[in-house]
Amino acid sequence: MSSYVQPLFGIPLYRNTRPELEGLTERVSNLEYERMAVGNGDISTTKWLLEQESFQDLRSLIMEEMNIFTHYLLHMDPQKIQWRLQNSWAVRHNKGDWSQAHHHTNSVFSGVYYVRTNENSGNIVFTRTHDTVSTTTFDFPYTNFNELNSKSFGITPQTGEIVMFPSHLMHSVDPNNSDQIRYAVAFNFVPTGTWGEGEHEISL
């Protein structure tokens, strides 16, 4: 048998690009926004965007992708675990806007749908927060980076792309260096259902 490295216990990052939804950019751009407390971007005043009737097409798309991610690819039992879409909001990044490193609390999975973006409007960057190659504080030099040794991983999203990941995964957004306003919709999921046995059973 030839030698190889087997990645263990990886963090799942889901990506897919769907056709643009008709009129979505206009609907999102017409929302009411407020400046974020940090002063680095604008956030919709509603934090329950996907509950609105005018965004049910996007809600359906996100739910479909979530089921593919968790039930088909992660093999979670659909008879026992379903997903409730929690809060959801739009983010508007003008030129120079960005997002600091953060994770999402009070949720299990989080995601972003990119309503309008381009190659210069800012990558989403995921940061490693757990040990991989070494359990010490050594900062080893590498000749090449891959999923086994990288400290961060950036994605240049496309319009219509959806990205989903465990809510604990730290992420940030690079500055928008384009003259085009970037729009995205972020969302959180929590589980519902009953699973486990005996003293380990849980119902949500």
Asked if residue 95 has pLDDT above 80, the reply is: yes
Say yes or no to pLDDT of 122 above 70. Answer: yes
pLDDT at 135 (0 to 100): 66
Q: Which residues contact 171 (CB under 8 A, 6 or more apart)?
A: 101, 102, 103, 124, 125, 126, 127, 165
What does the alpha-carbon distance between residue 161 and residue 193 come to, in Å, rounded to a whole number?
29
- Residue 132: predicted pLDDT: 72
pLDDT score at 131 = 74
pLDDT: which is higher, 174 or 145: 174
- State the Cα–Cα distance between residues 110 and 87, nearest whole angstrom: 10
pLDDT at 1 over 80: no
Cα 188 vs. chain centroid, distance in angstroms?
A: 9
pTM over 0.75: yes
The listed CATH number (2.60.120.620, 3.30.360.10, 3.40.50.1970, 3.20.20.70) that belongs to domain 14-124+158-194: 2.60.120.620
Give the DSSP H or E segment for 33.
strand 33-35
Q: Give 43-88 pLDDT, tens digit per residue.
A: 999 999 999 999 999 999 999 999 999 999 999 999 999 999 999 9
pLDDT of 32 > 90? The answer is yes
For the segment 100-106, the average pLDDT, to the nearest whole number, is 97
Q: Quote the pLDDT of residue 168.
A: 97
Of 117, 91, 101, the residue nearest 35 (C-alpha):
91
The Cα 47–Cα 86 span in angstroms is: 9
Q: Per residue in 124-173, pLDDT tens? A: 999 998 777 776 678 888 999 988 888 899 999 999 999 999 999 999 99
- Check if the beta carbon of residue 136 is closer than 8 Å to that of residue 92: no
Q: Domain coordinates of the chain in residue numbers? A: 14-124+158-194
Q: What is the DSSP letter of 71?
A: I
Mean of the per-residue pLDDT values of the chain: 95
Q: What is the dihedral of CA 154, 155, 156, 159, to 10 degrees?
A: -150
Instruction: Please tell me the distance from the alpha carbon of residue 46 to that of residue 54, in angstroms, as a whole number.
Output: 13
End-to-end CA distance of the chain: 46
